[in-house]
Structure 1
Amino acid sequence: MAETPPFSPMLALLVVAHSLEAELTAQLRPLDLTPRKYALLGHIKASPGVSFSELARRSQTSVQNVHVAVKALTASGFVHDDTAQAGASSTLRISKAGLQVLTRAHNRRAAIDDRIRETMPGLADGLAGALRALTIGPADEGR
């Protein structure tokens, strides 16, 4: 009989994350969004005029990936780039259609969050604590 490998919290989180990302992707697809585009749209709404470099930093991706995604958001009518000229800084802002689709996307994401809270009580609080521990770190907690 094969021995059961030890439980790995990291691998478990990766499996859960992959499953939830697939669910979110399926919910956003009819809105012409992906999780990355959804996140970028939220950043653009929160920070009108944000640079491509800053969007890349916030999204933990490359500037080239951000350009491709923003171009798609612009083509969908969700984002306006008021100075889309070669060599010039862009002035990105969310459009009325972008605000509407972002609201719909938020509602779909919130439904997934609500289901998680209902079916796995305590998971949200546990994840929030884990995230705090990762971002603050044990050495910073006393400050």
Structure 2
Amino acid sequence: MSQGETVGPLGESAGYALKQAASALRAAMDAVLRPLDLTVPQYACLELLERRPGLSSAELARGAFVTRQATHGVLRGLAERGLVTRAPSAPHGRALPVELTDAGREALRAASTAVRAVERRMLAPLGAERERRLREDLAACAAALAEPAP
């Protein structure tokens, strides 16, 4: 792309199509999580904690794609509902590890099932090979943007 070139028609922009897909996915996830009294960031934190118990709020923020400040509110809401616990003191440094409770695991099972159904609906038109290719292509796009710009 030359320095003066613009995005052009939005219908031909991969970035715009990606944003549309991300927005549609978020809306569908919101819809299935709302009856479970969970938000997408809360769900993301539960999934992360299931896979990596003891993450700090900063690590959860990075994994859930929210700010550290937003994570504080997310964790407070989850803790008030008894879905997570925070250690009373940090084993090292200042980071207080967070873990799922039994109620948190139960809520996660329901939420994960609902979100998986959304993902299956989203990917149904693709078939297995195109789904695999999509994952690889999206990972390559993310990796390209993680590198410093030339």
Shorter-chain TM range is 0.7 to 0.9
> C-alpha separation between the residues in 1 aligned to 2:135 and 2:88?
39
Give CA deviations for 1:60-85 in whole Å, capped at 9, x if unaligned: 33221111100001111111123179
Seq. identity, %: 30
**Shift, 1:14, TM fit:** 0.8
Which residue does 1:133 correspond to in 2?
Answer: 140
Which residue does 1:12 correspond to in 2?
Answer: 17
Please say if 1:40 is aligned against 2:45: yes
Give TM-score scaled by structure 1 length: 0.79
Please say if 1:81 is aligned against 2:86: yes
Paired residues of 2:83 and 2:104 also in contact (CA < 8 A): yes
Q: Which runs of 5+ in 1 are unaligned?
A: 138-143
**Shift, 1:135, TM fit:** 4.4
> C-alpha separation between the residues in 1 aligned to 2:26 and 2:112?
14
**Shift, 1:23, TM fit:** 0.7
Paired residues of 2:43 and 2:108 also in contact (CA < 8 A): yes
Paired residues of 2:41 and 2:66 also in contact (CA < 8 A): no
Q: Point out the more displaced range, 98-107 or 5-14.
A: 5-14
Q: Give the CA RMSD over aligned residues.
A: 2.5
User: SS at 1:119's partner residue?
Assistant: coil
Distance verdict in 2 for CA 1:119–1:135, change over 3 Å: closer
Equivalent pairs counted in the alignment come to 133
Q: Which runs of 5+ in 2 are unaligned?
A: 1-7, 145-150
Give TM-score scaled by structure 2 length: 0.76
**Shift, 1:28, TM fit:** 0.3
